[in-house]
Structure 1
Amino acid sequence: MDGSSRTRWVRERSEQQRREYAERFVRIAAEGRDVDGEARLIDAMLDPDSLILDAGCGAGRITHALGVRGHRVIGVDADPLLIEAGREQHPGADLRVLDLCDLTPDVGGPFDLIVCTGNVMTFAEPGTEPAIITAMAGVLAPRGRAVFGFHLDRTYTLADLDEQAGAVDWRLEHRFGTWALHPFTSESDWAVSVFRG
């Protein structure tokens, strides 16, 4: 089965919508707005020259930003359209078409950190999320970190994430309300969760 067909992202969006999304952060950056908040936080969590997996990398914005900061980064996404756009936008970035269920040590690693931003887990095909977390655990270095960010108004919940992370022996280390480290509270509509392997 084509990996992209196992995602709600592709199933629920037209090709035009996916192309527009691929250009979204290019437009935001051109307006002078910040598009590197996630990368700054991840960079601060790591030693220089760390090996990072950008899981569900889209058009490679974070892959590129972390590479510029001196890390070795591999970006993977199930949507070939987004990977194609990312290769045009960020020449030299290591961007690959791959469904997260299909992560194996052949991809690279073990990774010092896996970052999964932009509602990636909420766009996975329902029911595949435990397989994705298990696949991630298989490529994460011992004591490595996995960082997830997503909106809380989706069908995939923090309780789901915590349960699935616990099943692979990941421990919740931090939870923030934004990538800028605002506290996570009962009023938060977004969560950034940091797990330690």
Structure 2
Amino acid sequence: MEPRTRWSEVSGGPGAATAYQRRFDDLAAAGMDIHGEAAFVAALVAPPVRVLDAGCGTGRVATQLTALGYHCVGVDADADMIAVAEQRDPATTWVRQDLSRLQLRSQAFELAVLAGNVIPLLAPGTLLAAVQRLVAHLQPGGLVVAGFGLDSAHLPQGCPVTPLEDYDRACEVAGLTLVRRHGTWDREPWRPDSGYAVSVHRWAG
């Protein structure tokens, strides 16, 4: 039996994937830039390297990366999210798997990105396993980039905070080294009182 993620508990059930995507469609229609995460990735590695969008949701980040020339694979535990992603973007490879049990045929990604509060929305007790499975799919020198909220204002309602110290500890156990940390995907400076963190870790291999 697959672990029950916090996303499945706070998402609102059937129709959540469509509503989630509609929110970003509305922002884009209003002229908002919804591709900050993809731009962040592009500043770290150049196409056409392989990128894993871990916890891809409806595929917003992976679809943009594919459009930019990256070889991108999107993975999510939510079947409805994956269904929306497949319908919207048949050019990207989509896989339904829980990150804590990740096992893909290809294990040669240069970068794994976790956007949209993936870390705090993991199933309770699976943080270390998820990070270890991500590392297992990296090339030596590969990067793990994760952005997530650190307080209730930056998290979905009902989602508990995952302390940054817990994430850093899991990364350290998995063999990752912190390279840099920002307060937003726009690379604003990180401060200890920041409500959000974007962390870049490297696996030496």
Q: Same fold (TM over 0.5)?
A: yes
CA distance in structure 2 between the partners assigned to 1:118 and 1:175 by the alignment: 16
- For the 8 Å contact 1:77–1:96, the answer to whether it is kept is yes
- For the 8 Å contact 2:107–2:136, the answer to whether it is kept is no
TM-aligned CA deviation for residue 48 of structure 1: 2.2
- For the 8 Å contact 1:105–1:138, the answer to whether it is kept is no
TM-aligned CA deviation for residue 105 of structure 1: 4.5
**Which amino acid letter does the alignment assign opposite residue 94 of structure 1?**
T
Q: Match of 1:87?
A: 86
Which segment is superposed worse, 26-35 or 166-175? 26-35
CA distance in structure 2 between the partners assigned to 1:138 and 1:27 by the alignment: 37
Q: Which runs of 5+ in 2 are unaligned?
A: 152-159
TM-aligned CA deviation for residue 110 of structure 1: 1.2
CA distance in structure 1 between the partners assigned to 2:113 and 2:40 by the alignment: 11
Q: Match of 1:23?
A: 22
Q: Compute the TM-score of the two structures, normalised by the length of structure 2.
A: 0.90
Which residue, 165, 185, 188 being the options, matches 2:171?
165
- For the 8 Å contact 1:116–1:148, the answer to whether it is kept is yes
CA distance in structure 2 between the partners assigned to 1:30 and 1:96 by the alignment: 28
**Matched residues, percent identical?**
36
In the alignment, structure 1 residue 187 sits paired with structure 2 residue 186 = no
Which residue, 134, 141, 144 being the options, matches 2:142?
144
CA distance in structure 1 between the partners assigned to 2:104 and 2:32 by the alignment: 36
SS in 1 for 2:199: strand
Q: Match of 1:55?
A: 54
Q: Which runs of 5+ in 1 are unaligned?
A: none
CA distance in structure 1 between the partners assigned to 2:50 and 2:36 by the alignment: 19
The structure with more helix, counted as a fraction of residues: 1
Which segment is superposed worse, 94-103 or 139-148? 94-103
CA distance in structure 1 between the partners assigned to 2:75 and 2:174 by the alignment: 21
Q: Compute the TM-score of the two structures, normalised by the length of structure 1.
A: 0.93
**Which amino acid letter does the alignment assign opposite residue 59 of structure 1?**
T
CA distance in structure 2 between the partners assigned to 1:17 and 1:80 by the alignment: 11
Q: How many residues align?
A: 194
TM-aligned CA deviation for residue 126 of structure 1: 1.0
CA distance in structure 1 between the partners assigned to 2:113 and 2:31 by the alignment: 24
CA distance in structure 1 between the partners assigned to 2:43 and 2:150 by the alignment: 25
